[in-house]
Amino acid sequence: MSRNNIHAYYHMVFSTKHREPVLRKEIQASLYKMLWNKCLEIGCEPVMINGMEDHIHILLHANPLVSISKILKDIKGSSSRWINEN
């Protein structure tokens, strides 16, 4: 009997539209907290989230049952919605 032990870490970087500096210091902490919770919600374990005014870095331990495209779609979609609402 064999067991699979998959550990996939991804470093994802995505930017704002046209690299506009919309991620001001005042909202970064709240945005990163929301992204952290979104990662947990989709079954991934975030290691670190950080960024600048025009881009975000996320290092996470991915769930092997969820595709990387689904993970990125969910994370980017929720961050875009959050920024537009706030």
Packing angle, helices 68-85 and 25-41, rounded to 10: 140
8-85 to CATH, choices 3.30.300.30, 3.30.70.1290, 3.40.50.150, 3.40.50.720: 3.30.70.1290
pLDDT band of 86, cuts 50, 70, 90: confident
The string of pLDDT tens digits covering residues 11-65 is 999 999 999 999 999 999 999 999 999 999 999 999 999 999 999 999 999 988 8
Q: What does the pLDDT read at residue 36?
A: 97
What integer pLDDT is reported at residue 2 of this predicted model? 61
> Over the range 41-59, which residues count as b (16 or more CB within 10 Å of their CB) and which as e?
ebebebeebebeeeebebe
Measured CA to CA in angstroms, residue 35 lies from 1, 3, 4 at distances of 38, 31, 28
Domain residue extents for the chain = 8-85
